[in-house]
């Protein structure tokens, strides 16, 4: 493995101290780089609510609609479609054959694709500012995602060119990488950057993702709280984040991580 590149120092003065000791950064895609989490959540809600109406659980308390806040973060955020569908349906006491779970996941995929074409996608401005500052200092950057749409989403948002490497859901399937909270996706991204995990930062908004970062032995795990909920920062910290920010622009001088 080649040694991490020496940083030039041209932009380190505008980067928060937390990032100055790492030599590469791996970022999750949905909810960290691009504002697609709400599109994913809406597609999951439509798919799950339709399934629950047609196949109501025996326990009336389990028949409540999918919640795009708590249920999304707890069961599907950061996971592959199949893992997310299986986790949520199991949480409602439904013991379903694999084929049925795949059908629900496929319905979500169709709905997400339709919404994406109708609504488009944007990158978070604070994330773009941070990425540009890091690139000015030659910091190796990778995007990682369980989604097979990651390359398309990053391209549509106009930020694909800011990254030196991308490991998406298609690559993960090809390589047989297990999903989060296993760290394999992030470890593969760091490997492609040529920087060991213990010199690399991981940026994630999902509970499963920060847990993956901590399990992988990464030098710094940054949690991003996009929900601004009262319990979200504590949840991210409990699952493995070293620090939590609401926007990655806080990691540019003048903002302070919590």
Instruction: List, by residue number, the catalytic residues.
Output: 28, 30
Question: How far, CA to CA in Å, does 246 sit from each of 27, 66, 104, 185?
Answer: 15, 24, 32, 24
Helix (H) or strand (E) holding 223: strand 220-224
* CA dist 213 → 43, 88, 148, 240 (Å): 27, 23, 20, 7
C-alpha of 128 from chain center: 16
Q: Which of 38, 69, 66, 43 has the alpha carbon at shortest distance from 53? A: 66
196: left (phi over 0), alpha (psi -120 to 50) or beta: beta
């Amino acid at each position: 493995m080649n040694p991490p590149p020496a940083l030039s120092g041209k932009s380190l003065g505008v980067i928060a101290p937390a990032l100055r000791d790492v030599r590469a950064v791996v970022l999750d895609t949905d909810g960290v780089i691009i504002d697609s989490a709400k599109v994913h959540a809406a597609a999951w809600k439509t798919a799950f609510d339709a399934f629950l109406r047609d196949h109501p659980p025996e326990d009336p308390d389990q028949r409540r609609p999918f919640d795009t806040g708590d249920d999304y973060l707890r069961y599907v955020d950061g996971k592959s479609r199949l893992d997310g569908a299986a986790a949520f349906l199991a949480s409602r006491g439904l013991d379903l054959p694999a084929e049925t779970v795949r059908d629900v996941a496929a319905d979500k995929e169709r709905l997400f694709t339709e919404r994406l074409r109708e609504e488009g996608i944007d990158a978070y401005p604070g994330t773009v500012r941070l990425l540009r500052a890091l690139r000015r200092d030659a910091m190796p950057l990778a995007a990682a995602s369980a989604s097979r749409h990651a390359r398309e989403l990053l391209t549509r948002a106009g930020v694909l060119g800011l990254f030196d490497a991308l490991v998406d859901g298609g690559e993960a399937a090809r390589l047989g990488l297990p999903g989060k909270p296993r760290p394999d996706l992030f470890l593969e991204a760091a490997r492609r950057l040529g920087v060991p995990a213990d010199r690399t930062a991981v940026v994630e908004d999902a509970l499963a993702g920060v847990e993956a970062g901590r399990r992988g032995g990464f030098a710094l795990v940054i949690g991003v709280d996009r929900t601004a909920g009262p319990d979200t920062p504590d949840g991210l910290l409990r699952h493995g984040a070293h620090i939590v920010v609401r926007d990655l622009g806080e990691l540019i001088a003048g903002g302070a991580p919590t």
